[in-house]
Amino acid sequence: MDDYFRLSMDTRDLNYAKFFTEGDPGEAATEHYHSHNTQRLTQEEVVDLLLSLEEVQQAISEWRRGDSADG
């Protein structure tokens, strides 16, 4: 349609009651998730968590290889 896109309507069934009647009741959240009811990480814990991620480790490795090639 020239410079425009046409998006089809989402026709999926959004009847969430099926999850609660047919799904595993153990998986249903009993309380909303927010920053007041979860463990807050310290700055050091955030750094440790990020450094444990494969994607971050790979990016650091690639960055280091680029530095050693330059210098």
Mean pLDDT, the chain, rounded, equals 79
* 46-56: pLDDT as tens digits: 999 999 999 99
**C-alpha 3: how far from chain center:** 32
Query: Per-domain residue ranges for the chain?
Result: 40-71
Q: Where is pLDDT greater, at 10 or 53?
A: 53
Alpha-carbon torsion 51, 52, 54, 58, what sign?
A: positive
Query: Of the ranges 10-14, 15-19, 62-66, which one carries the lowest mean pLDDT score?
Result: 15-19
Q: How far apart, in whole angstroms, are the C-alpha atoms of residue 55 and residue 58?
A: 5
Of 68, 64, 58, residue with least CA distance to 50: 58
* 21-30: pLDDT as tens digits: 666 656 555 6
Instruction: Report CA dihedral (56, 59, 65, 68) to the nearest 10 degrees.
Output: -80
Per-residue confidence (pLDDT) for residue 52, from 0 to 100: 96
